[in-house]
Structure 1
């Protein structure tokens, strides 16, 4: 039986903390959005429309970077305090390349790295237990 590759991603619009489930040593990788506060200040000086366009371009790149990581996994839990996880989920669902990947979205508060690792562990262990119990 194939071992499923699982990953948890705590995210907001500025960064994503990526935790792979199943590794003994929990290592969190961080991906950041390129849209900074300085970008916001500079573009607001020109027009709000320009700022919105620049922000959308940077977020699109951020989501594409995350999608490149996600495509290597079988199961994904996206969680965090903002709508960024839902925005990413919607983009992934529009791309049929991700149809075979089980992706779930959960609302959570801000979390420390340890809380994120525990959340990912608890989420996937709970799911594994149900699957094993049903067999």
Structure 2
């Protein structure tokens, strides 16, 4: 059977949902991406000089490096999948999809990329089962 994995992610955490006909598994991975704002810094000694000496570009470079590491860690965890589905609330999902497209020959097929709000683990599993059209073995079939 093919290995199908759903990835729910934002910048704080990623959830990996592996689904099959008779089993499901969910694992979580925390992100190391820092959420910092520019501090007050120090006032320049020049009159009418800049009010802040904090380097915005350094903070942006650090965040970009942390995001790249986060995406690499995610891709390492799902590289042996046959097919993946990416969903989540933030723009992190589209950035991950862009990085995957650059490595298309060495990476599994992406079924879809969709926006989704915060979800419980059970809602994530149900969504991944729906996307991959896997019957839910937890519920009996509906009676007509």
Deviation string, structure 1 residues 13-35 (Cα, Å, up to 9, x no partner): 12111110117453321112102
Q: Residue 122 of structure 1: which of 119, 127, 130 is its match?
A: 130
Counterpart residue number, 2:48:
none
Gaps of 5+ in 1: 127-135
- Select the structure that is richer in helix: 1
Deviation string, structure 1 residues 40-73 (Cα, Å, up to 9, x no partner): 24xx333211111111001000000011112110
Question: Runs of 4 or more off by more than 4 Å in structure 1?
Answer: none
Q: Which has the larger radius of gyration?
A: 2
Please give the TM-score of this superposition, normalised by the length of structure 2: 0.75
Instruction: Flag the 1:23–1:68 CA change in 2: closer, same or farther, 3 A.
Output: farther
Gaps of 5+ in 2: 40-53, 135-144
CA RMSD of aligned residues (A): 1.9
Please give the TM-score of this superposition, normalised by the length of structure 1: 0.80
1:85 & 1:32 partners in 2: Cα distance? 15
Given that residues 13 and 31 in structure 2 are in contact (C-alpha distance below 8 angstroms), is that contact kept between their aligned partners in structure 1?
A: yes
